[in-house]
Amino acid sequence: MSTPAAPPRPRALLLESIHDDAAFTLREAGFDVERVAGALDENDLVAALDGVAVLGLRSNTMMTARAVQAAGSLVAAGAFCIGTNQIDLAACSAAGVAVFNAPFSNTRSVVELALSEIIALTRRLTDKNAAMHTGVWDKSAAGSHEVRGRRLGIVGYGNIGSQLSVLAEALGMSVLFYDSADKLALGNARRCGTLEELLAEADVVSLHVDGREGNNDLFGAEQFARMRAGSIFLNLSRGFVVDHSALRSHVLSVHLAGAAVDVFPVVPRTKGEPFVSELRGLPNVILTPHVGGSTEEAQQDIGAFVAGKLRDYAHAGTSSLSVNLPTVSLPATPGTQRLLLLHRNTPGVLASVNGLLAEHGINVEAQVLGTRGPLGYVVTDVAEADDVVPALRAMPETVRLRVLR
Ligand SMILES: NC(=O)c1ccc[n+]([C@@H]2O[C@H](COP(=O)([O-])OP(=O)(O)OC[C@H]3O[C@@H](n4cnc5c(N)ncnc54)[C@H](O)[C@@H]3O)[C@@H](O)[C@H]2O)c1
């Protein structure tokens, strides 16, 4: 007698040279993984998504509404980066496709770059290095300082700002911070009630705010003027937050002793295109091409983190840290089947679901509901789901129903 064929393995498609650890995690989880080195344009993406359950992409593949709508078997998409602007999130929500990203994986890399720049600028290493390369031996200590005992003012005390706070204190700096939201001060850090208070006290000001619209030109001539004479300025957050011509004037007037900038309002769109900025050529100014989060360690962490999210959503329906779905996580109930229902967020859906289960004589072993904007998500463990599936699928509020056996 022949043994029945094993069910086909679900397919995962990973684009844009995503780290090997992602493919490893998904293969371990039972996926057939196909990898593509580059990005795909819309037509190629539509063709490639046929039969794919899980997609991984980075920032160069545009996941348009057309691509989402054409991808009938797609359950989840992972942005193996921080931003998700390349993904049409509304289309994904409407189709019941979960989207994940890696919001924390490169925070340590940004913090280490900021710390290295604080030390380099405070010691004027940029000037010493430039002079040595032109044959000038300048052994003077003038203008070079230790960071120990200096005051670091962190603007934006989120994932990055708060981690910078801890490591800067370990170096002997005293930390002040200003955040528009209520944030717990870590270690001996001191919260400032206003940005002005921070600017008046800090020897180093480092921006780590998020990209909300209101932060456009947050930092301009007025804020630079309020900084202490001889202080240092860093921006590794977003380019549009800082007025670069005001920064240039305050470096040239030596009101600021130095600056480090990793993010710019306008950047070259292609490799070869020159980098244009009024900050080029300034003394004791470190310019880096948005590499704050770009380390091999961060890429590896992103690979494992996002692949883990895709696996947990595909296999258990766990949507923690999804960009677009309600957050739901339910521990497995042994010996049950799991119903994963994404539905329009209107009153009474949970009652309808449980009414249908009761009508079919199905007992609920465990259940959890979450809602977010237009979507609701209810996960239910039952002993045997098959009888009720057509009725749940036919509910007018149903966006997508999956059954895990
Ligand atoms: N340079 C890089 O390569 C790189 C890498 C990762 C992240 N980033 C950027 O770094 C920034 C911080 O990232 P994160 O993960 O810490 O973000 P986060 O969302 O965890 O923290 C941002 C913090 O800024 C605060 N904030 C926002 N606007 C403010 C304002 N006007 N005044 C005071 N506080 C304000 C928020 O309340 C929040 O606590 C983001 O803009 C992110 O895009 C850059």
pLDDT of residue 3: 67
Distance 356 CA to ligand 1 centre (A): 45
Instruction: Name which residue sits closest to atom 2 of ligand 1, judged by CA.
Output: 292
The CB of 218 under 6 Å from ligand 1? The reply is yes
pLDDT of residue 211: 86
Count the Cβ atoms, other than its own, within 10 Å of residue 145: 17
Is 56 within 8 Å of 13 (Cβ atoms)? yes
pLDDT of residue 6: 78
Q: Which two tokens stand for residue 367?
A: 């259940």
83 phi and psi angles, rounded to 5 deg: -75, 155
Tell me which residue has tokens 């465990």.
366
Instruction: Name which residue sits closest to atom 11 of ligand 1, judged by CA.
Output: 237
The CB of 211 under 6 Å from ligand 1? The reply is yes
Nearest to 367 by CA among 346, 389, 351: 351
The CB of 106 under 6 Å from ligand 1? The reply is yes
The CB of 159 under 6 Å from ligand 1? The reply is yes
Q: Which two tokens stand for residue 198?
A: 């921070």
Ligand 1 atom closest to residue 211's alpha carbon, by position in its atom list:
41
The CB of 153 under 6 Å from ligand 1? The reply is no
pLDDT of residue 2: 60
The CB of 181 under 6 Å from ligand 1? The reply is yes
Mean pLDDT, each 10-residue run in order, the chain (405 residues): 76 95 97 95 96 95 97 97 91 97 94 98 96 96 96 97 98 98 97 98 97 93 98 96 98 97 89 92 95 93 97 98 97 95 97 97 96 96 94 97 95
Please choose from 112, 209, 267 the residue to mutate so as to test ligand 1's pocket, defined by most ligand atoms within 8 A of CB: 209
The C-alpha atoms of residue 395 and residue 357 are separated, in whole angstroms, by: 13
Residue 24 burial (C-beta neighbours within 10 Å; 0-12, 13-18, 19+): middle
Q: What is the DSSP string of 1-36?
A: -PPPPPPPPPEEEE-TT--HHHHHHHHHTT-EEEE-
Ligand 1 atom closest to residue 215's alpha carbon, by position in its atom list:
31
Instruction: Name which residue sits closest to atom 44 of ligand 1, judged by CA.
Output: 237
The CB of 161 under 6 Å from ligand 1? The reply is yes
The C-alpha atoms of residue 221 and residue 385 are separated, in whole angstroms, by: 64
The CB of 237 under 6 Å from ligand 1? The reply is yes
The CB of 308 under 6 Å from ligand 1? The reply is no
Is 155 within 8 Å of 198 (Cβ atoms)? yes
The CB of 337 under 6 Å from ligand 1? The reply is no
The C-alpha atoms of residue 40 and residue 66 are separated, in whole angstroms, by: 14
Long-range contacts of 81-89 (CB under 8 A, 24+ apart): 81/302, 82/106, 82/293, 83/59, 84/323, 86/57, 86/59, 86/60, 86/61, 86/62, 87/57, 87/63, 87/323, 88/63, 88/64, 89/323, 89/324
